[in-house]
Amino acid sequence: MTFYKPIMYGFLPIDRIAHILKEELRDGRVRLSASAHRHIAQDHPEDYEFCLAHMAEAIENPTYIGKPPWQIRNFELVKKIEDHNLLIAVSLEQDHGSYRIRSSYRISYEKVRKRLAEKYLLSPKKG
């Protein structure tokens, strides 16, 4: 049996995220629990190495931020990395002072374009 350890990442860029989501957020670091780590490894094995390699970058500087209507307690951070898009689903509720990653996987350009068109994803960049 493989053991997946929890991983702590940096602080969530709450100013940019709160602006997009139009919600108040408290300061907090982002945490990948052992169970979420196992979920990514087992349910998205083809994306596992990519996700772990780029997760910190996606959290610190997401290309897009969104909250689809079917996600009541989560929001999404999407990072364009070379020829791929990485999606990280993050819980809106703080868990022991940190934001909990729920899942992470590659998301297709078609899904990103659709979510941008439907305004489920927005760019945090000004201008």
- The verdict on residue 2 lying in a domain is no
Confidence (pTM):
0.89
Domain that holds residue 27: 7-122
- The verdict on residue 19 lying in a domain is yes
Q: What is the pLDDT of residue 127?
A: 41
- The verdict on residue 127 lying in a domain is no
Domain count along the chain: 1
Contacting residues for 97 by C-beta, under 8 A, at least 6 apart: 28, 29
Q: What is the pLDDT of residue 98?
A: 87
Burial of 121: CB neighbours in 10 Å, binned 0-12, 13-18, 19+: buried
- Per-10-residue mean pLDDT of the chain, 127 residues long, equals 90 91 89 94 94 93 89 88 86 78 92 93 75
- The verdict on residue 23 lying in a domain is yes
- The verdict on residue 41 lying in a domain is yes
Cβ proximity of 55 and 104 under 8 Å: yes
Q: What is the pLDDT of residue 59?
A: 93
Q: What is the pLDDT of residue 29?
A: 92
